[in-house]
Amino acid sequence: MKEILANLRTYFETGTTFDIEWRRSQLRAILEMLEKETDSLCKALQEDLGKSAEEAWLTEIGFVQHEARFVLKNVAKWARARRVSTPMFLMPAKSQIQPQPRGLALIIAPWNYPIQLAVSPLIASVAAGNVTVIKPSELAPACAKWFSETIPRYLDPKAVAVIEAGPEKTSELLKEPFDFIFFTGSTKTAHYITRAAAEHLTPTVLELGGKSPCIVTNCDHIQTAARRIVFAKFLNAGQTCVAPDYILVEEKLKDALADALKAAIVEQFGPENAPTNFVHIIHKGHYERLCGMLNKGEKLLFGGKCDPETLRIAPTLIEADMAHPAMQEEIFGPILPILTLTEPDAFGQAMKLIAAHPTPLAAYLFSDSNADVKRAKRLISGGFAHNDALMHLTNVHMAFGGVGQSGHGGSHGHAGFEAFSHMRSELLQSQIDIPLRYPPFTESAMKWLKRFMH
């Protein structure tokens, strides 16, 4: 491991990765890899998560292809120095901001979207000119093996390395002095990552999670809202960091929404408790944690079947309250609690209930009320969508990231490029010398200096 990291640093010091054409060649290689290795990728995702080829392409392959094309088109422009204003007292200098590679970057990828959440930050890292280590999740072993076997065949092996590691080896890896760490995963693990990074004062971007709320108030398009909520929630069997974690619905809409949600589940995933092409839970421990949330006094509205042989949990709707176990932690599975807002000011009640949890990675509002949308601006969250859910992260023109307990820093598109770059401030001064700047500072000199700096 130390030899791999030393070789990467040595290659970075040659300056090869600073070259824009090198960066573009690596982005083209990523696109070629995703195109040619689609079948092997789908096979690995089927083995690890039970994903269908269609869902694999939609959520993993097509997603990062779109981002790679966007970055390839724009990287030369982003990497150029950007001129900024220069104050009069520094004239005749010029000022600019020059993006520079950070150096040796570490990407620690999760298991829930093992391809997307490794390749997307890799796109940003190579676009910024870094050398990169990818640490895929050991909980998705087929995808980890795919990375180890495939990456060296397409990308520059002197600049990109894959290190497969379990918890013990990852702990050793984190003792090494990286220049940047990009981590996607749980808040619990993020505490450990940031402690390790602090030993070397290594900057980090953390993409975490949390209980992303979905508010339904003053909504006249219940069927549309239900379809979008069901898609966002049960994609990847709910194992999505920005999936709606729970619904807060005003009382007069509760029954209509519940009926529409049931119909949307059947429409998108198949009959109750017999879904087709449904992703399984990643491992037995996570399966048992999710099943343990059920039969705790909630009212079962739909689904609820748990199959220990396949580790599948059918799309499930429950009616619960804030004291229910499913409301005490991020669910990260196909269980959707519905909580009823009973106060006259339903939106105000929703805001109070959301405030009882740490800041979420995303928040969703389905409402036809401009007043609700305006009030939602006071709802602090990593991202926000009005009359939709999850889809905000697909726009490469916007940064994706958390705030507070849901993470910090941004990714995707230009935001990812900037995260993996150091934005160096540069002053380019001429040889014309102005005596006023040097002591001794006479009364006359001070008068002019104060005028210039006013």
Exactly one of 42, 219, 241, 306 is catalytic; name it.
241
Q: 207 catalytic, yes or no?
A: yes
Exactly one of 207, 250, 298, 330 is catalytic; name it.
207
SS (H, E, C) the chain: CHHHHHHHHHHHHCCHHHCHHHHHHHHHHHHHHHHHCHHHHHHHHHHHHCCCHHHHHHHHHHHHHHHHHHHHHHHHHHHCCEEECCCHHHCCCEEEEEEEECCEEEEECCCCCCCHHHHHHHHHHHHHCCEEEEECCCCCHHHHHHHHHHHHHHCCCCCEEECCCCHHHHHHHCCCCCCEEEEECCHHHHHHHHHHHHCCCCCEEEECCCCCEEEECCCCCHHHHHHHHHHHHHHHHHCCCCCCCEEEEEHHHHHHHHHHHHHHHHHHHCCCCCCCCCCCCCCHHHHHHHHCCCCCCCEEEECCCEECCCCEECCEEEECCCCCHHHCCCCCCCEEEEEEECCCCHHHHHHHHHCCCCCCCEEEEECCCHHHHHHHHHCCCCEEEECCCCHHHHCCCCCECCCHHHEECCECHHHHHHHCEEEEEEEECCCCCCHHHCCCCCHHHHHHHHHHCC
Q: 143 catalytic, yes or no?
A: no
Question: Which residues form the catalytic set?
Answer: 207, 241
